[in-house]
Amino acid sequence: MRRFLVAGNWKMHGSLEMTAELISGISRSVLEMASLSEQRELAYDILVCPPAVYLQHAVSAAQSQPVAIGAQNVNAHDSGAYTGEIALPMLAELGCDYVLLGHSERRELFLETDVQIADKFAACVAEPQRITPVLCVGETLDERKQGATEQVVGRQLDAVLNQVGIQQMKNAVIAYEPVWAIGTGETASPEQAQEVHAFIRARLAEHDAEIAASMRILYGGSVKADNAELLFAQPDIDGGLIGGAALKVESFVGICRAAQKLASQA
C-alpha cells in the first residue's frame, strides 16, 4: 500500500525563526494527533522544502522529528563554474532527503526545459546521491482549454522516462500541479485531479505495471485543510504538494489530519 506524503513547498518565504517554529509546531501537532489514533503512530510521511539558505537550519530542527527536509531546486552538475547554483552533493551533505524538480514556476519564470529537468532527475537517481526527486508536471489554463492536458503531461513524463528509463523511476515521487490552480484560489475538482493522476499512472504502467502501482503521485493545486480529504480519497492521489497552506502550522496540520484519517481507514 502506498503511504500518503504531505509535502510543503515554502517557495521564497521564511526566516530562521519561522523555520524552527514551523517544523517544531508541525512535529508536535502530528505526533499528538497520531497518539490519539488507533494506530498510535504516523501512518503517512511529511516533507517540508524551505528556501536553500534555511536548509541546514531545517535539517537541524528536524532531527528526531517526523519531518523530512527537501530542497526546491538543484543543478544537474556535481560541481563547476555555475554561480548561484547548488549541487546534489551539497544537499546530500546537509542531510536533505528530497528535491523538487520542474516546478511550474521553474518552468515558466526561469524557462527550465523538459531536457534540463530530465538532466536533474538523472543526476538525482545516479549513485551515490540517493536524494529522492519529486518530479512536477502539469498544464496551463490555455493548455487545458485546448484539451492538451494529457499531451503536455505525457511529454513532461516522457522526457524523463526517455532519459533514465522506468527502473530509475521506482524511488521517485511525481506531483501533478495544474498551473491554473496554483495561487489562484482555483482547485481542480477531485474528479478532475483523479483523471490526470490515473493518466500518469497508466502512462508509467505502459513501461512497468509494478512500478506504476507503487509510485506516489501527489496533487499540487491549492490543497487546503477543507478539501484535502476529498482529494486524498481518490484512488490515484497519494498526498499533496502544498504551497500557501504549508506556511502555517494549523493549516498544514489540517491537511496532515486528512492523510492520517484516510490512512487509518485503509
Q: Which residues are catalytic?
A: 103, 177
Give SS3 for 54.
helix
- How many other CB atoms are there within 10 angstroms of residue 229's CB atom? 16
Cβ-based burial of 230 (10 A; exposed 0-12, middle 13-18, buried ≥19): middle
- How many other CB atoms are there within 10 angstroms of residue 5's CB atom? 23
Q: Which amino acid is at 77?
A: H
Long-range contacts of the stretch 150-153 (C-beta < 8 A, 24+) = 150/196, 150/199, 153/196, 153/199, 153/200, 153/203
Angle at CA of residue 100, ends 254 and 245, nearest 5°: 20
